[in-house]
Amino acid sequence: MQQYNEVELSALGMAIANVVTIAEILKNNGLAIEKKIMTSTIDMREESGGRRVQKAKVSCKTVKSIRYIRRPLVMV
């Protein structure tokens, strides 16, 4: 978020919870505003058997809030 005004977070399957957590942290700390949330499914092949499965996908576009511009987050 330091380099860009807009960031898109996305994940598949079990990683969706991580994207939601990160987006909520940014939003609750007043650093980002959710611009758009998209859900979909994609077709993939399993690594072990090669059979086709559908995976859930979520994308969350965020933009910097005024608070972020005034006081950037310091990562340690």
Q: Domain containing 55: what range?
A: 6-69
Residue 75 lies in a domain: no
The answer to whether the CB of 63 falls within 8 A of the CB of 35 is yes
Report how many domains make up the chain: 1
pLDDT band at 6 (very low <50, low <70, confident <90, very high): very high
Q: Indicate which CATH number applies to the domain containing 25.
A: 3.30.110.20
Of the candidates 75, 39, 31, which has an alpha carbon nearest to the alpha carbon of residue 57?
A: 39
Q: Name the more confident of 7 and 70.
A: 7
Tens digit of each residue's pLDDT (9 = 90 or more) over 20-75 = 999 999 999 888 999 999 999 999 887 777 888 899 999 999 998 877 666 655 55
- The residue whose two tokens read 């807009």 is 6
d(CA 76, CA 62): 22
Q: Write out the H or E segment, with its range, that includes residue 20.
A: helix 16-28
d(CA 64, CA 16): 21
